[in-house]
Chain A
């Protein structure tokens, strides 16, 4: 999947617990993104980062947090404040050329919260 790895593939958690999803890329890309995908819907942007130690909220950031301490890594924490956390989460990266560009996606993590 284009040099991006996400782990684990499936994740189960109890309601009220925070959970962190891993995303690593070896493409030397500056920009990284987190999307949420619900059945029958498109990709909704949670957070994105264009450079190390900097990130911006996407369209649905409430209940999520991220960090970007290394260029290769962009972990996403789903907090207990996220009301409907069960979803398929996709991480992506791109060369930050300053104009729109291709995104390379990881294989995704399916999170189930009960």
Chain B
């Protein structure tokens, strides 16, 4: 089955700096790669996603890049703010019903 590895497990940055979280996947048939943000005690919420026919997608301060050949994708957050502090999960799927999640990255943005 699909295996998703996410790094780093914790990340601490100063407010205003950039943060990068990386994920690798094993199944070359995976075609959908979402990123979710989870605040303490809440359910994850989608922040950005990318499909395998696109190499990069940007939404304001957040961007995702995908390298299908290397089977990895990354989340980039620029100009980080304290409210960006949360746990971030990547996932990979190739059909509805089966998403494999990474173990999460705890991001702390220091004021």
Task: Give every chain B residue within 8 A of A50 (Cβ-Cβ).
Answer: 96-97
Q: Which of the four size classes fits the interface of chain A?
A: 20 to 34
Q: Which residues of A contact B54 (CB under 8 A)?
A: none
Nearest A residue to B94, CB-CB: A100
Residues A102 and B43 in contact, CB atoms below 8 Å apart:
no
Q: Please name all residues of chain B whose beta carbon is closer than 8 Å to the beta carbon of A103 when the two chains form the complex.
A: 34, 46, 99
Interface size class of B (residues with CB under 8 A): 20 to 34
CB of B44 within 8 A of CB of A105, answer yes
- Alpha-carbon distance between A97 and B93 when the two chains are bound, in angstroms: 13
Q: How far is the CA of A74 from the CA of B44 in the complex (A)?
A: 18
B18 close to A (CB within 8 Å): no
**Could you tell me if A97 and B96 are in contact, using CB atoms closer than 8 angstroms?**
yes
Q: B8-40: which residues lie under 8 A (CB-CB) from chain A?
A: 9, 30-32, 34, 36
- Which A residues are CB-close (under 8 A) to B44? 43, 90, 105
Which of chain B's residues 77-111 have a Cβ closer than 8 Å to chain A?
A: 89, 92-99, 101-104
Since A56-B97, A108-B43 are in contact, a sample of 12 more A-B pairs with Cβ atoms closer than 8 Å, ordered by chain A residue number, is A1-B43, A4-B43, A40-B103, A42-B103, A96-B97, A98-B95, A98-B96, A99-B95, A100-B96, A103-B46, A108-B41, A108-B42
